[in-house]
Amino acid sequence: MDLSTQIEARGATYRFGGTFAPEYRAVADAFIENFKVEDEVGAACSVVLDGRTVVDVYGGWRDSARAKPWDAPTTVCMMSVAKGITAICFNMLIDRGLVDPNAHVTDYWPEYGHNGKEKTLVRHFLDHTAAVPVLTTNPLWPGAMFDREAIVKALEEQAPLWEIGTTAAYHVHHQGFLLGEIMRRVTGKTVGPFLREEVATPLHAEYYIGGMTDRQQSFVAEVMPNMEAKLFAAKDGADQTSLRALAFKQNPAEPWATTMNRREWRTVEVASGSGHGNARGVARIYGALPLEAGLNGVKLMSQRQLAAMTTEQHHQTEALQDRPYHQALGLLLNTPEAVYMGPNMRSFGHHGIGGSIGFCDPDARMGFSYACNKMHAVGTNGPRAKRLIDAFYGCEI
């Protein structure tokens, strides 16, 4: 069925489009409800069930001025949703025998073994226990986050902050650089090109990490961060020695709302956070994973590797955000108190600060994604995504 309607809410008009299978009308209704009761400006939601897209809805506005409608091709920065997509790409290398998660990082990247990091295993990058969440040995200048080579060199020189493999601390920016450098060493490609050639293009999934063309950028929605979120607030907070504050020292010395709406943010590869896409594309990527034959003939990894990728590595309250996570190999397992993925505790994926999320329920053979441009500041993936997820599981499947 087509979703073609509009509502008046909170002093503005919101128009909606897209399609949904009749039996999933509740998801479309929940999507509209978000605009009535939550601080929603523009958003999209998509569900791929057993290879079939059963929900693909979108609506609202691409910009804070409410001048540009959010339409079918609209994309948005989905922040740390990129970590989940990057992890999928990296696990594809493991599946192909190109990387061993139990090998030492120095087997692939010899220069990394400086200042006490020679015992780091590849899996420590994937589960945030590599003990290099921030730079202290050789802090870099504001804006260095846009210089991949400078960050990689600084990570080579960085000493571990504690015993490697013991304490989880969210490598909020660094995880993508760490995994991306191993990927470059074994394939000649960093995350962005690998994603484009091996995942997004074959699946016809609109999701990019860096390298966006002018045409692709023309569909990007304005991002409206909520600066009360813990990570953003830490940039200007009182304690500039905290892990949270130190994680942002290499970011540009400007408001996040400026950084995330710059052309450079769409072309640079920060594989932990600069991913841009829409719910349709992310749901297709996650929806392909539980299908033995793949989605439309595109198979990302074996079921054996899927099981390995989604095996819990630890359940810690990580030290940077002070959040509990059921941590898998690069992805998060369902952790309702921090990142809610429905009733199935085997669900896996990754959220992004502000509310966006992508995940897979392997038992339902389902890929789900929600994307938004007006971010919230709550400590979980938020009420908007939860309303949509609960609506889906409330339908008979």
For 108-126, the pLDDT digits (tens) are 999 999 999 999 999 999 9
pLDDT reported for residue 247: 87
Task: Output the six-digit token pair for 396.
Answer: 């008979």
Handedness of CA 347, 329, 173, 198 (dihedral sign): negative
pLDDT reported for residue 43: 98
Helices (H), 158-195: 174-187, 191-195
Beta bridge partners of 374: 224
What tens digit of pLDDT does each residue of 72-97 get? Answer: 999 999 999 999 999 999 999 999 99
Task: Output the six-digit token pair for 31.
Answer: 């999507």
pLDDT tens, per residue, the chain with 397 residues: 999 999 999 889 999 999 999 999 999 999 999 999 999 999 999 999 999 999 999 999 999 999 999 999 999 999 999 999 999 999 999 999 999 999 999 999 999 999 999 999 999 999 999 999 999 998 898 899 999 999 999 999 999 999 999 999 999 999 999 999 999 999 999 999 999 999 999 999 999 999 999 999 999 999 998 766 555 555 555 467 889 888 888 888 788 889 999 999 999 999 999 999 999 999 999 999 999 999 989 999 999 999 999 999 999 999 999 999 999 999 999 999 999 999 999 999 999 999 999 999 999 999 999 999 999 977 788 999 999 999 999 996 5
Task: Output the six-digit token pair for 225.
Answer: 């961060």
pLDDT reported for residue 381: 87
Tell me, what amino acid is at 350?
H
Whole-angstrom Cα distance, residue 94 to residue 309?
9
Q: Rounded to 5 degrees, what are φ and ψ at 156?
A: -60, -35
**β-pair type (42-49, 52-60):** antiparallel
pLDDT reported for residue 350: 98
Whole-angstrom Cα distance, residue 234 to residue 222?
22
Whole-angstrom Cα distance, residue 283 to residue 205?
8
pLDDT reported for residue 237: 52
**Nearest CA among 12, 14, 82, 23 for reference residue 391:** 23
What is the value of pTM for the model shown? 0.96
What tens digit of pLDDT does each residue of 134-193 get? Answer: 999 988 988 999 999 999 999 999 999 999 999 999 999 999 999 999 999 999 999 999
Neighbours of 142 (CB within 10 A): 12
Whole-angstrom Cα distance, residue 177 to residue 181?
6
- Write down all domains in the chain, each with its CATH number in brackets: 5-88+193-394 (3.40.710.10)
Q: Rounded to 5 degrees, what are φ and ψ at 315?
A: -130, 85
Q: How would you class 228 by CB atoms within 10 Å of its CB: exposed for 0-12, middle for 13-18, buried for 19 or more?
A: exposed
Tell me, what amino acid is at 340?
Y
Name, in order, each residue with C-beta under 8 angstroms of 48's C-beta and a sequence gap of 6 or more: 54, 283, 284, 286, 287, 288, 295, 366, 367, 368
Neighbours of 163 (CB within 10 A): 11
Whole-angstrom Cα distance, residue 17 to residue 5?
7
DSSP 65: T
